[in-house]
Structure 1
Amino acid sequence: MARCVRGLEPVVSTEILRTGSACVESVGHREVGFRGAVGRLRTADDVFLAAARGDDVGRRKDGLGALARLARGVDLDGLVRERAALGGPRGFAGVEVSASFLGRRNFNRFDVEDAVGRVLAERAGVPYHARRDGTAPPDGYAGWRVTLDGTRASVLLRVGERPAHRRAYKVESVPGTLHPPVAAAMAQLADVRPGHRVVDPCCGAGTLLIEAAGQGASLEGFDLDAGALRAAARNAGAAPVRVRRGDAGALPVDDRSVDRVLCNPPWGVQVGARGRLADRPARLWREIARVLAPDGRAVVLVPDEGLVRAVASGLVPVFAQRLSLFGGPVTVAALELRTSGARRRS
């Protein structure tokens, strides 16, 4: 089971199928069920083994007893073997549980976590770490997940030692930094190829460019914030990413010279615009249209009204998917030049 940002389910499904070693069996709210070995999924928040399934327990607090019984039926030995075969840790140093549910309930997530976690820890003979006080679990504790979707209750065991969305390269962050699986999804939608010139006009901590690395492309980022440029350089490490000071409203880039643009612009939700975008945000679309090669593509996170401005600047959406991000809806859009004969694909 792969868990993901809401709206990325189709992208995660595609990444799973592209491995050639797994098949998708179900697609639900923020999750994709599959069978087979897939290695690391860059567009998923996390990957789990299905430990137990049952009916959703409903709204009443006395339904928590059914979750405890579900936990008692988990095949711990079988899960340990399966997780180890997939490259995960062997055994449990401890148990920690994260829960989520849809709809109103007469209990909270911590009640769910405790009902399942205490049973699992007792059965495994290891400590249980409760999340009620907000402290992080000790290293080495097995990560479990409980979901209630209104129809089904699922108990899941994380395959890896740490969540898949955490990246070892992400040693520095800045306000508005992009969630790595979303950046990976955008890089995949861009279809970056060897020899491409890829530009991020508002690179921030460099997440988009780093996620696009490994394809043999030239990767360049621009930002007006010196702290963001330092963060991007440190995060990139040995990756072939070059960052420098530049205004997204007047990029120091020749016309029609960029094959791919990747961008999470400062729309004022997490970070305010600076430079020439501060008073005229639409300048970004004109710059993208100016630098993009005739057969190029831009993949950008935009609010709904942003697409209208993009079209007015000569860009055509060929893909659009709404995500739940930054506490609200946002659209990831792939755009091509109108003169390239682009046609909407979804």
Structure 2
Amino acid sequence: MHTLAVARAVRGIEPLVAAEIRRAGLGVVRGVRHREVWFETAEPGPELLGLRTADDVLLVAAVVEGIGRDKEALGRLARAARELDAESLTKLALQTGGRGGGGVEVSASFVGRRNYNRFDIEDAVGAELARPLGMPYHSRRDGRVPPEGSTAWRVTVEGGQAVIALRVPVRPLHRRPYKTESIPGTLHPPVAAAMAGLARLERAGTVLDPCCGAGTTLIEARALAPHARLIGFDHDPHAVHVAAANATRAFTSAHAGRSPVTDAIAWGVADAGRIPLPDGSVDRVLVNPPWDRQVAPSGRLRRDPGRLWREIHRVLAVGGTVVALVPEPWQPPGFGVDRVIRLTLSGRHPVVAVLRRSAGRGRAS
């Protein structure tokens, strides 16, 4: 028996999520939609929780057609929830690695104007799901927060179609357990994982992030390149401290019952306008430069932001690859553009640019 699943994603990287699903052998991709990848899996298991480019993964319980704009739609959704086999799906999610028993919670969203709100949808569906499970339903109305351990369901409505689905993990996949400390401008982990995948790190010897922030990019990179030399610098000593702490948690968790890998990434305080590495010593660069929005350029970059790209050009080997998250498409001197992916992230529309170093000049003075 095959189970239909949905991987939720940042807008723009859905094809990368689909590629990860295929590469990991998690199932057969059936469709790629706005922020969603639909796939069939024969035997859902804990490996679904290993999707690094996905924001979340859910098991589809029902697809409901004929969901209009009027409140009659709430009755149709309630009937669909009442008729689905919530108990069997909950057991399947538990086998896959989820957790339940603390009640039922529902999160709903829809596209377009309707004569009802998200809380109306959640309450109509949640009460029907909770009844056969013998659990309390925890409404989000009036700002209430469901308790930890609740079984999490999601309802999405687009056009005349609604999808009722059950979250597999205890919490959304993008909420990495290691990332308990953060700083302004920190990178969304699935985007960092997508950037690492685009860099083809399996061929890399040395990987650099000259603006490492909370360390997300290199922590995600290590999952793809456990044998590469990873180096992270930041001008802010506090950011370097946070990055090292997050990395320690990540690698201690990954090596449960054994000593943590303390030398997995080399962290250091350094100015990205003068990277303390020899010419041509780096194979890959992953970078989320300061955009002068949440984080302003500091050090030598305050007066000359272009120094970052000249320094990256200097330390990167000819033919090496840079994957950067930048506010808009552009081509720094000395680089060719291999690929540009447009994202929607926190209400903004940055791009992931895959750049290749040419043999031309690009040195910082």
TM-score (norm 1): 0.92
Q: State the superposition RMSD in angstroms.
A: 1.8
**Structure 1 residues 143-162: aligned runs within 5 Å:** 143-162=152-171
Output the amino acid matched with 2:194. A
Q: Deviations over 1:174-216 (max 9, x none)?
A: 0111111111111111111266211111100000010011421
Partner of 1:334 in structure 2? 354
Measure the CA separation in 2 of the matches of 1:109 and 1:101. Answer: 7
Output the amino acid matched with 2:228. A
Measure the CA separation in 2 of the matches of 1:319 and 1:100. Answer: 32
Measure the CA separation in 2 of the matches of 1:110 and 1:314. Answer: 53
Alpha-carbon distance, 1:57 to partner:
1.6
Measure the CA separation in 2 of the matches of 1:316 and 1:226. Answer: 33
Partner of 2:77 in structure 1? 67
CA contact (8 A) 1:270 1:326 kept: no
Q: Secondary structure at the match of 1:177?
A: coil
Partner of 2:314 in structure 1? 290
Partner of 1:9 in structure 2? 14
TM-score (norm 2): 0.87
- 5+ residue gaps, structure 2, are 1-5, 249-259, 361-365
Measure the CA separation in 2 of the matches of 1:290 and 1:103. Answer: 49
Measure the CA separation in 2 of the matches of 1:245 and 1:296. Answer: 24
The answer to whether residue 79 in structure 2 is matched with residue 79 in structure 1 is: no
Percent identity of equivalent pairs: 53
Q: Secondary structure at the match of 1:328?
A: coil
**Structure 1 residues 1-346: aligned runs within 5 Å:** 1-36=6-41, 37=44, 38-39=47-48, 40-55=50-65, 57-89=67-99, 92-193=101-202, 196-214=205-223, 215=225, 216-237=227-248, 238-239=260-261, 240-305=264-329, 307-308=330-331, 310=332, 313-339=333-359
Measure the CA separation in 1 of the matches of 2:204 and 2:328. Answer: 32
Output the amino acid matched with 1:206. G
Measure the CA separation in 1 of the matches of 2:116 and 2:16. Answer: 33
Distance 1:121 1:81, change over 3 A: closer
Distance 1:78 1:320, change over 3 A: same
Distance 1:245 1:135, change over 3 A: farther
Q: Secondary structure at the match of 1:128?
A: coil
CA contact (8 A) 2:286 2:322 kept: yes
Measure the CA separation in 2 of the matches of 1:133 and 1:249. Answer: 49
Measure the CA separation in 2 of the matches of 1:145 and 1:65. Answer: 17
Alpha-carbon distance, 1:108 to partner:
2.1
CA contact (8 A) 2:218 2:265 kept: yes
Alpha-carbon distance, 1:21 to partner:
4.2
Measure the CA separation in 1 of the matches of 2:209 and 2:279. Answer: 15
CA contact (8 A) 1:52 1:73 kept: no
Measure the CA separation in 2 of the matches of 1:11 and 1:198. Answer: 21
CA contact (8 A) 2:59 2:166 kept: yes
CA contact (8 A) 2:204 2:284 kept: no
CA contact (8 A) 1:92 1:124 kept: no
Deviates more, 1:316-325 or 1:193-202: 193-202
CA contact (8 A) 2:56 2:174 kept: yes
Measure the CA separation in 2 of the matches of 1:148 and 1:60. Answer: 13
CA contact (8 A) 2:279 2:316 kept: yes
Q: Secondary structure at the match of 1:80?
A: helix
CA contact (8 A) 1:222 1:244 kept: yes
Alpha-carbon distance, 1:168 to partner:
1.5
Distance 1:247 1:137, change over 3 A: same
CA contact (8 A) 2:206 2:284 kept: yes
Output the amino acid matched with 1:161. V
